[in-house]
Structure 1
Amino acid sequence: MLEELEIRNLGPIHHAVLDFAPIRHALLDFAPGMTAITGETGAGKSMLLNAIRLISGASADAGRISAGADETRAQGIFAVLDGSKAASIADEAGSGPQDGELFLTRCVPAKGRSRAMLNGHSVPRGVLTELAGELVTIHGQADQLRIASPTRQREFLDAYAGDSATLEAYRTAWRELKAMDEKLAKLQGQEAEARQRADYLKDAIARIDRVAPVSGEDEELKAKRDRIENAAAIAQGVGGAVAALDSAQAGYDDDGGSGVSQLLDRAVQSLRGIRMGGVFEESADRLESIGDEIADVVLSLTRQIDESEDGADLDAINERIHDLDELLRRWGPTLDDVLAWREQAGMELEDLDASPEKIDELGKRRAALLATAVKAAEALHGARVRAAKALGRKVSAELEDLAMAGAGLEVRVVSRLGGPDALDAHGGDDISFLFTPFPGSPQLPMGKSASGGELSRLMLALELAAAERRGTDAPQEGGGNKASGEKNTGDGTGASGDGRSGMTFIFDEVDAGVGGKAAVELGKRLAMLARSAQVIVVTHLAQVASWADAQFVVSKAAGNAGESRPAGVSTSVSRADGDDRVREIARMLSGSESETSLDHARELLAESKL
């Protein structure tokens, strides 16, 4: 919702007939609901829209700067919800909402480049354009009709249909189909480099598989080779050690010498022979324990002698070590690394496998995915057709009440299924909004078939239909908010929480060619839409302005010379409340403030309630 708009030194765009005066400074505090912008013809109401276009990222023109000023500046403050798309865009731009608000600013100097700012930080102009697309919609002849494009029409119809589950089911099926298409295209269109990579992987995997390494095998083999190569030294060393520890195990007789084990046995027997217990028994026990440890060492050493490597094939071991070293040099440094590379290479090779069998397998899988996508597209088509009929009926009925009797909208949904290029990312339908502005007129695409006022009323009818579909009471008569003092909260939540009700709709020229009862109905319809979204309308009709919750008056005023402000005529903007508003409505009705026109104005304001 637009909370505040501040304008400084904004000059008019040159007009061949009307003499507009610049806006030196204006500050408009907007509220939820409906706001009317009024003023005499030529007062400069359109400059307010120019300011909003500036902060929406429109092209800058130094000619907009008022005479004598160095720059023109426009700033809009918008309330946004956490988690909304606008908040996400701002976060991605590096300047998220501050206390739930976004500050969009545009400065256009007399010389040099314009500056776009978000929350006081410079950003590309495109960021303001993207943000404004989520915050503001201007419906007027001077603006490109957003919904004139097939993309916008499809998005509007899908939002109106409200069948998010069917739409997401199709999007999921489409993503899976496209992923398979990319995989097949990659396989079928492999270049020489890809084929060489596949050949290399095949050779490498075959080489590793021939060797069939086992984790840690190389270290074990090298230890075994060392034992074989040093077998004589090992035997001599172990034999001497065993002889010193246990002469019996070394093969000596009792007279040949005594080892450590025999000496310990003698010591134990001597101590136990004392037969007094105490320290003597304790010492004997400790020596026996030492003897057991020595016996274990002797047993381990004698096993080394018994496990003779004489029968091992040293040449075979060296050849195996050589084969493993070759693998380590290529894909090491450890055998675990070699085995991990082998596993990864196998998966990569599977993706690069462009064999006829592989392509045939993927082709069958693609056919299944295509069938799923077509089925989802058919379901989406059905939902769109139902929504299109309902939308066309509703908009045509609204147009009847907006002084466009005989006008109508047909939303056409044509399926492409069964033909070439049947599916795309958004389904299998061609969607077009065809407008008939008056009886007997041929159906023409929106944007090419109506005047600015007719287009604005058509857009109002579309927005009313959308508001009703969201579950709000915008198009429902009775239970009026103004009669009870109830106002739109402006929190942007809406009944459905789809976020669209957080949009600010600005209507310009919506009352062109309208008068009498039709003007009253137009104002009423705008007030209805304002119950689910913020509405700002530029109007010259009292019957429309009287329905607004707030009213601003644009007028010309004589300026005074001062700091950086040249004397002359300028445009002022002021809020009309109480008697001021009655006088403005009276002026709009009859051009005077007679008692009769004032009474008529009070009566009109009293009657303009939902």
Structure 2
Amino acid sequence: MIRSLHIKNLATIEEIELPLQDGFTILTGETGAGKSIIIDGIRLILGEKSSPDMIRTGKKETSVEVIFPFHQAIADFKDYFPEKEEEMFLQRKVPAKGTGKAYINGIHVPNIKLKELGVKLVDIYGQNDHVFLLNLEYQLNYLDDFAGASALKKNVSRLARELKKILKEKTELEEKEKEREQRLDFLEFQIKEIEGAQLKPGEEEELRNTRNILKNAEKIGSHLESALSISYSQENSISSLLAQLQNTVHYLVDFDKTFKETEDAINQFSITIQEFSDFLFKFQQKQDTAPERLEELEERLSQIEKLKRKYGSSIEEILSHLESSKQEYEELSTSQEKLDELDKEIQKIFNEYKSHAEKLSHLRKKNADKLEKDVEKEISLLGMKKARFKIKIDTIPLKPESIESVKESGTEEVEFLISPNPGEDLRPLRKVASGGELSRVMLALKTIGEETDTFKTMIFDEIDSGIGGKTAEFVAQKLRQLSRTHQVICITHLPQIASFATHHYKIDKKIDKERTFTSVIKLSFEERVTEIARLLSGTRITEITLKNAREMISHNLDKSAC
């Protein structure tokens, strides 16, 4: 329920603070006073579309704030509520320029979050909100909720999705089958070409390094010869000088053992020079085959480049393409086996779907009779004494050949039919019901179906349009009945409805210094009497209308206490 509503700079409202209570709250006032502006403010806090045109002239932004008690039904939004939080504070700001902002308990959130939370907290039914009743999907969902079929329907929906997914997979595989042979030949050629090249990861870089060496063989050879000469072959090479140094130091060791460490170091250095010389010699030997080897390298690199142009920018990518080609080749080679497996899986899921859908169908038909009787009883209490209400159920037969047309909603198409007056044929609700009749059917359905979600606030914005007299009193009684389990807020022009309120607010409009101001006043009993009298007779209030108003309020208070 809404505990308080604070609106600032919305149309003719400069600022109002409206504390609200449980029970049946009525808002009345002259036409144009701003009653629906308050509902517009609540719609904003529920995430509905905003416009800068809503902002009060001369102001920079509109803001709406609402406080709700915390309820476990909104546990999905627990991230926005500290532990042991007892209230929810929702806020919406709409600026004249720029993007609006939404908040849940002070946390900035996308507007869609307000909308998701709002549908759990408040239902609004205005003159143009009856259209949901005419939606065939809503009618089917209503019947399912009434029948307690939610769990069964979820299973039917899940199996339908699984079936469609596998059917799509089968279709794609069958399309591949049409060009399977051609694709297999193509893949086989690619696999043989890549495998025949016997590529190795890192091979290209190694080949390019070797080619670079061979291309510069003459320069390298000259430097190799010089290095060999210095290190080994010339008369005063490092090797020969080290040999002389070794002999000299070895002689000194015989006289002083402290030279032993130096001798070891010279010996190690001599070994290193010898290994270096061997390396240079072997490298020089390889240079002898440079012309033939270079030609082989160029051919190999050319082969790799050709494969890169076709299959990838590196050897690694070519090898990856090889693996994917092998995998696809394997899948195509066994595609018929896969198709057979899919057919078995499709049949299995279809049988499950059929079983659950038949149970759902039985539950719908069983409960449709009861719902028809309940609705006829409720609309009769609302003044439609001789009206008939029926639920048309068309069941689509489930056959193997129609497997691709299974629906997540099951096998039924449901439509509400009504005959408002005696002697008239039953026709779809969307084709025959007037605004007043729709209001009463909607109220009947809400009364029947609102045994759950009792924490929700229900707002009725002039749903009494098109009714009056005794019917209006029936509607008022029904709204009062709903208010025993829900917070009900209703805007009305009818005294029959207003007189049933447990809380009555009057919306007033005044002009001060060429500015229009809308205000909200909670009425005392005597103020209610005057307001009900105004609704009964307009501006000409007499002692008789005041007496009638007093009697209406007292009578309806007594009736509600029964």
Q: TM-score range by the shorter chain?
A: 0.5 to 0.7
* Cα separation, partners in 2 of 1:367 and 1:403, compared to 1, 3 Å: farther
Q: TM-score, normalised by structure 1?
A: 0.62
* Cα separation, partners in 2 of 1:534 and 1:372, compared to 1, 3 Å: farther
Does the CA-based 8 Å contact 1:271-1:284 persist in structure 2? no
The equivalent of 1:526 in structure 2 is: 482
* Cα separation, partners in 2 of 1:391 and 1:233, compared to 1, 3 Å: same
Residue 430 of structure 1, CA deviation: 0.9
- Measure the CA separation in 1 of the matches of 2:527 and 2:194: 92
Classify the secondary structure of the residue corresponding to 2:257. coil
Does the CA-based 8 Å contact 1:215-1:336 persist in structure 2? yes
Residue 214 of structure 1, CA deviation: 1.4
The equivalent of 1:138 in structure 2 is: 125
The equivalent of 2:263 in structure 1 is: 284
Matches within 5 A, 1:493-508: 494=455, 501=456, 504-506=459-461, 508=463
Classify the secondary structure of the residue corresponding to 1:608. helix
The equivalent of 2:307 in structure 1 is: 327
Matches within 5 A, 1:26-45: 29=18, 31=20, 33=22, 34-38=24-28, 43-44=30-31
* Cα separation, partners in 2 of 1:101 and 1:440, compared to 1, 3 Å: farther
* Cα separation, partners in 2 of 1:371 and 1:573, compared to 1, 3 Å: same
* Higher helix proportion: 2
The one-letter code sitting in structure 1 at the alignment partner of 2:431 is: K
* Cα separation, partners in 2 of 1:516 and 1:292, compared to 1, 3 Å: closer
- Measure the CA separation in 1 of the matches of 2:247 and 2:501: 120
Classify the secondary structure of the residue corresponding to 1:288. helix
Classify the secondary structure of the residue corresponding to 2:431. coil
- Measure the CA separation in 2 of the matches of 1:350 and 1:210: 17
- Picking from 514, 531, 547, the partner of 1:563 is 514
- Picking from 167, 185, 199, the partner of 1:213 is 199
Q: Structure 1, residues 546-576: CA drift from partner, whole Å, max 9, x if none?
A: 4434223468x9x7784267xxxx9997542
Residue 323 of structure 1, CA deviation: 0.9
Matches within 5 A, 1:188-207: 204=190, 206-207=192-193
Residue 196 of structure 1, CA deviation: 11
Does the CA-based 8 Å contact 1:7-1:51 persist in structure 2? no
The equivalent of 1:14 in structure 2 is: none
Does the CA-based 8 Å contact 2:214-2:290 persist in structure 1? no
Would you say 1:540 and 2:520 are equivalent positions?
A: no
- Picking from 251, 254, 265, the partner of 1:270 is 251
Does the CA-based 8 Å contact 1:35-1:551 persist in structure 2? yes
- Measure the CA separation in 2 of the matches of 1:293 and 1:356: 60
The equivalent of 1:551 in structure 2 is: 504
The equivalent of 2:109 in structure 1 is: none
The equivalent of 2:83 in structure 1 is: none
Does the CA-based 8 Å contact 1:244-1:259 persist in structure 2? no
Matches within 5 A, 1:98-177: 100-102=90-92, 136-138=123-125, 140=127, 144-160=130-146, 164-177=150-163
RMSD: 5.9
Q: TM-score, normalised by structure 2?
A: 0.67
The one-letter code sitting in structure 2 at the alignment partner of 1:220 is: E
Would you say 1:608 and 2:555 are equivalent positions?
A: no
- Measure the CA separation in 1 of the matches of 2:209 and 2:519: 97
Residue 580 of structure 1, CA deviation: 1.0
Q: Which runs of 5+ in 2 are unaligned?
A: 78-87, 103-111
Residue 508 of structure 1, CA deviation: 1.5
Would you say 1:579 and 2:526 are equivalent positions?
A: yes
Would you say 1:429 and 2:385 are equivalent positions?
A: no
- Measure the CA separation in 1 of the matches of 2:288 and 2:214: 6
- Picking from 259, 279, 282, the partner of 2:240 is 259
The equivalent of 1:487 in structure 2 is: none
* Cα separation, partners in 2 of 1:512 and 1:379, compared to 1, 3 Å: farther
The equivalent of 2:273 in structure 1 is: 294
- Picking from 429, 437, 451, the partner of 1:454 is 437
The equivalent of 2:108 in structure 1 is: none
Residue 609 of structure 1, CA deviation: 4.2
Q: Which runs of 5+ in 1 are unaligned?
A: 11-23, 63-68, 88-97, 108-114, 121-125, 473-493, 495-500
Classify the secondary structure of the residue corresponding to 1:424. coil
